[in-house]
Amino acid sequence: MRIRRLDKETRADLLENLLKRSPGNYRQYEKTVAEILERVRTEKDAALFEYTARFDGAEIHEGNIRVTEDEKKEAYEAAGEELVRIIRRALANIRSYHEKQRQYSWFDSKPDGTLLGQKVTPLRRVGVYVPGGKAAYPSSVLMNIAPAKAAGVDEIIMVTPPDRDGKINPHTLVAACEAGADVIYKVGGAQAVGALAYGTESIPKVDKIVGPGNIYVALAKRAVYGHVSIDAIAGPSEILVIADETANPRYVAADLLSQAEHDELASAILVTTSEELAKEVSKQTDLFLQELSRADIIRKSLDNYGYILIADTMEDAVDTANEIASEHLEIMTKDPYDIMTRIRNAGAIFLGEYASEPLGDYFAGPNHVLPTNGTAKFFSPLSVDDFIKKSSMIGYSKEGLRKVHEDIEAFAEAEHLTAHANSIKVRFE
């Protein structure tokens, strides 16, 4: 991995380079996505089936688009008892964590008859997109469905692309069944997003679409936002490690590579105050690359977006981490909890040498659907909050309104909204 001294110029170049990975920089795909969405909106199932045949090579029709109970049983047999057991253990942790995020309605009443409050309501129907293609990620199925279930969503619809035989990856299917998906459809890509957003003869319209996907899926979600809600536009995976001289270089190298193997656009960055650690981590990455199965992808990722930055002080390291606002942030220092208190921007924070990023991906419980491309400055991980909506509650008695009606009328008059003022006045004629 390349080693650089951290300074203002290096930081500026790094940020500019990382931002090139944003889905907003892939405008050349927008026209294709718009055409797909328009055809699905107008032609519905007919367009859905045609695109599935073209892009996935599967003959899907109204009779087989929905996953059957027999297909679910086959998936459990193919997955095996051991994987099912692991999925259930991970799901228990994920459920427990997200159940603590539940919010409840509240009301505040006063003796004069004034009542204010907030009504919390789960979304009625949510669509969960699950990628297929090169790899299947049952962990993402759990992470997207579990918070929706904890929130109390009435109906969870999952879509995922089939293989050429019209089958769904058995691990994905088992995870969906365990997590509580109500209906599963064999369709993927931008066409699946369109089906969830507009509805077709086979797939009902949803209120919100969540879940990661390729650039076509990301652009499709952005295009339908406003017609339905979405979680976020996911970018390539990324990790940033803050480490000092006490860190284990082998652990650091292994964790950096765990994200670099996702794809060529993934980012892996180490910021350290130790030049010796920097050199040793670079050596360890080379050693790991000799034995890892996705070495070619990792090399391209590190060549494009892999950095080891040597900072003069830990304050400089923390400032850089806050500026990058990484999806995953690991802190491997003598006192990681002290550093954590100074972190303002990160999707998920991992503390100490035994809290490696894959722990969060699979098992710990917090959601692994995290803000990317610097959006951790203003976005949060997927949570129960994403599957509820809130309504304000206002109730006043005549006595309560009498105390404030003149102020309201004056305010309305100041804005030249006389009908507003009149609406209050008529109650005291």
CA–CA gap between residue 6 and residue 273 (Å, rounded): 10
What letter represents residue 109's amino acid? S
Q: Are 213 and 132 in contact (CB under 8 A)?
A: no
Q: Quote the mean pLDDT of the chain.
A: 94
Residue 44 CA to its chain's centroid (Å): 27
Contacts of 271 (CB under 8 A, 6+ apart): 6, 240, 241, 242, 243, 309, 311, 317, 320, 321
The pLDDT of residue 28: 82
Q: Is the pLDDT score of 135 beyond 70?
A: no
| pLDDT tens, position by position, 18-43 | 777 766 666 788 999 999 999 999 99
Which residue do the tokens 């759990």 mark? 142
The pLDDT of residue 134: 58
**Of 22, 25, 137, nearest in space to 372 by CA:** 22
Stretch among 25-29, 372-376, 403-407 having the lowest mean pLDDT: 25-29
Q: Is the pLDDT score of 107 beyond 80?
A: yes
Contacts of 155 (CB under 8 A, 6+ apart): 124, 125, 126, 182, 183
CA–CA gap between residue 252 and residue 331 (Å, rounded): 10
CA–CA gap between residue 213 and residue 234 (Å, rounded): 8
Instruction: State how far the alpha carbon of 81 is from the alpha carbons of 7, 85, 202, 249, 361, in Å.
Output: 52, 6, 33, 36, 21
Q: Is the pLDDT score of 91 beyond 90?
A: yes
Please tell me which residue in 178, 327, 330, 353 is annotated as part of the active site: 327
Determine whether 327 is an active site residue: yes
Q: Is the pLDDT score of 347 beyond 90?
A: yes
The pLDDT of residue 13: 82
Q: Is the pLDDT score of 190 beyond 90?
A: yes
The pLDDT of residue 133: 61
Which residue do the tokens 């981590």 mark? 281
Q: Is the pLDDT score of 357 beyond 90?
A: yes
DSSP codes of every residue in 400-417: HHHTTHHHHHHHHHHTT-
Q: Are 87 and 138 in contact (CB under 8 A)?
A: yes
| pLDDT tens, position by position, 152-169 | 999 999 999 999 999 999
The arithmetic mean of pLDDT across residues 281-304, rounded, is 94
For residue 10, give the 3-state DSSP assignment. helix
CA–CA gap between residue 307 and residue 67 (Å, rounded): 44
Of the chain, the percentage scoring pLDDT greater than 70 comes to 98
The arithmetic mean of pLDDT across residues 349-364, rounded, is 96
CA–CA gap between residue 382 and residue 385 (Å, rounded): 8
| pLDDT tens, position by position, 239-278 | 999 999 999 999 999 999 999 998 888 999 999 999 999 9
The residues that bridge with 122 in the sheet, in sequence order, are: 388
Q: For 353-417, where are the alpha helices, taking DSSP H only? A: 357-362, 398-402, 405-414
Q: Count the residues in the chain.
A: 429
| 7: exposed, middle or buried (Cβ count in 10 Å: 0-12, 13-18, 19+) | middle
Please tell me which residue in 98, 171, 262, 328 is annotated as part of the active site: 328
Residue 123 CA to its chain's centroid (Å): 18
Instruction: State how far the alpha carbon of 143 is from the alpha carbons of 67, 154, 283, 365, in Å.
Output: 21, 17, 35, 9
- pTM for the whole structure: 0.91
The pLDDT of residue 25: 63
Contacts of 423 (CB under 8 A, 6+ apart): none
The pLDDT of residue 132: 83
What letter represents residue 18's amino acid? L
For residue 266, give the 3-state DSSP assignment. coil
**Of 179, 175, 162, 170, nearest in space to 73 by CA:** 170
